[in-house]
Structure 1
């Protein structure tokens, strides 16, 4: 699977990653598309308070449900 990885303010890359395996009591959900929100853009540009995250970060928690 592909992941958009933010390494630091203004530093990001597209990376191939292994598919995660679900643990006990978990399920694996296939997400076809994910979006980013305003706070993700602030984190990517470096203006978001760094107390909320640690680099590297994979943003994209905004995914639609059909």
Structure 2
């Protein structure tokens, strides 16, 4: 019954190339920083920590070598 009720959304999730995975990953990163940074006295320090972590993550992505496609 639930599947029939949400069949359009299920169909769209399987057919369309869109995903909210990136946003969910950012939210998870912020929550992790929030837990480890408990006790920051200034909100600006918290925001700076988030931005710093994002810059580190982007730099790591750029350093990874590109994978060659597998031969068919």
TM-score above 0.5, yes or no: no
TM-score, length-normalised on structure 1?
A: 0.23
TM superposition score normalised by structure 2: 0.22
Larger radius of gyration: 2
More helix per residue: 2
Question: Per chain length, whose mean CA-contact separation is higher, i.e. which structure has more relative contact order (CA < 8 Å, sep 6+)?
Answer: 1
